[in-house]
Amino acid sequence: MKAMLVFLGAFIFGICVFILIKNGVEKDMTPSNSGKETLKLFNVTTKSYEEIPKMHKSESKWKETLSSEQFHVTRQSGTERAFNNEYWDYKENGVYKCVTCGTDLFLSETKFDSKTGWPSFWQPVAPENIGYHEDNQFGMRRVEVHCARCDSHLGHIFEDGPPPTGKRFCINSASLKFEKTSVVPIKNTKFEKATFAGGCFWCMQPPFDQVKGVQQTWVGYTGGHQDNPTYEEVCDGTTGHTEAIEVVYDPSEVSYEELLEVFWQNIDPTTLNQQFADKGTQYRTGIFYHNEEQQRLAEESKSKLGQSGRYSKPLVTEITEASIFFRAEEYHQKYYQKAPQHYKNYKYGSGRASYLEKMWGDKVDFK
């Protein structure tokens, strides 16, 4: 009888701990100092991607290192005067870097005369070095461009640029500093995107981040009908979106088929509108293809897995065309680095880790 009471007590205690962990994680997602956020950014000098820490400073610290105009543009999203700035007609050969953190942003060979009076480029040195968000100021709907490392405002992107991209990155000179070089090699690697939904997006980022050939990942929301949803709105289940991950990868290093394997090995494809402890359409699993080849490979992989005998129930993971991917709030990005203990508690407490270990064994990293 005593042994039975001890067992029942331990069982009830375990349930209470899981509930507390789950609630605590969802209600208090402020990152701890135990995990430092890092980014993979392209370095023109070394011609390679490097892992560097995200830069955060107080406004007072930025004011100590920036001129008044630089501060106005980069930290207050200001705009300098056209035709009256340092680089609008500059023609030297070299690299344009972020004035606040030194990140490589644009190459001189992608610069062109847009007749606007601001420096204009048709592509950045690498897609990971810059970020975007919607700007609805002044009654206009534009897309703002910012430095991925320090979030400094750079300018805006427009769809009226020259070939081969058709893009015009209209950038403030005050947000740039130029470094002259004799030869600047352009990064010609053609990266591709893959988009997956596997329940809680915290748990989907680590397995893809460690794959060789994956350049960058973001977690966010897709597949719904609401623009720019917040985490709270998606959690309500009314936006139609599901938590998802966007993967930027180099197809010369890792194939889409290999990414599909990583995806299948980190989800339960037999549960509809649910992944482990999380229930609702916002936790449905899905593969969102970006072209016909991805669609073909996704359908083939699902069919093959369904016929493998690994699962006793049919696979319900949806395969649909990719739509707009809305990046989640910054505190969700690489949450496993920002709050490693919370992340670990949730992954094990939700039942995800034990299920994956049971289904896939040593093929999956459970850390």
The pLDDT score that the predictor gives to residue 45 is 86
Asked whether residue 145 is domain-assigned, the answer is yes
The pLDDT score that the predictor gives to residue 104 is 96
Running DSSP on this structure, what letter comes out for residue 176? E
| Same domain assignment for residues 166 and 219 | no
Asked whether residue 99 is domain-assigned, the answer is yes
To 5 degrees, how large is the angle CA 280–CA 283–CA 287?
Answer: 135
Which pTM value belongs to this model?
Answer: 0.58
Q: List the catalytic residue out of 98, 101, 200, 203.
A: 200
| Same domain assignment for residues 200 and 349 | yes
Residues of the chain with pLDDT under 50: 1-34, 187, 366-367
The pLDDT score that the predictor gives to residue 143 is 86
Which of 180, 201, 227 is the endpoint of a domain?
180
16 is catalytic: no
| Same domain assignment for residues 275 and 197 | yes
Domain count, the chain: 2
| Same domain assignment for residues 267 and 203 | yes
Which of 131, 158, 180 is the endpoint of a domain?
180
Asked whether residue 28 is domain-assigned, the answer is no
Q: Cα–Cα distance between 65 and 264 in angstroms, integer?
A: 48
Asked whether residue 6 is domain-assigned, the answer is no
Which of 180, 206, 227 is the endpoint of a domain?
180
What residues are paired with 320 via a beta bridge? 288
Q: Cα–Cα distance between 110 and 157 in angstroms, integer?
A: 14
Q: Which residues contact 7 (CB under 8 A, 6 or more apart)?
A: none
| Same domain assignment for residues 316 and 236 | yes
The pLDDT score that the predictor gives to residue 189 is 53
Asked whether residue 20 is domain-assigned, the answer is no
| Same domain assignment for residues 252 and 313 | yes
Asked whether residue 268 is domain-assigned, the answer is yes
Q: List the catalytic residue out of 98, 101, 147, 170.
A: 170
| Same domain assignment for residues 267 and 309 | yes
Q: Cα–Cα distance between 264 and 197 in angstroms, integer?
A: 11
CATH number of the domain residue 233 falls in = 3.30.1060.10
DSSP symbols for 302-338: HHHHHTTTS-SS----EEEE--PPEEPPGGGTTHHHH
CATH number of the domain residue 149 falls in = 2.170.150.20
| Same domain assignment for residues 236 and 342 | yes
Q: Cα–Cα distance between 263 and 271 in angstroms, integer?
A: 15
The pLDDT score that the predictor gives to residue 23 is 43
Say how many CA atoms lie within 13 Å of 324 toward its Cβ.
11
Asked whether residue 1 is domain-assigned, the answer is no
Using CA atoms, how far residue 150 sits from 93, 222, 240, 300, 346, in Å, is: 25, 26, 32, 41, 29
pLDDT tens for 121-161 read 998 998 889 988 888 877 777 889 999 999 999 999 988 88
| Same domain assignment for residues 129 and 208 | no
Q: Which of 128, 156, 154 is nearest to 142 (CA)?
A: 156
170 is catalytic: yes
| Same domain assignment for residues 329 and 214 | yes
**Domain that includes residue 268, residue range:** 192-363
| Same domain assignment for residues 228 and 129 | no
What residues are paired with 258 via a beta bridge? none
| Same domain assignment for residues 125 and 153 | yes
Asked whether residue 336 is domain-assigned, the answer is yes
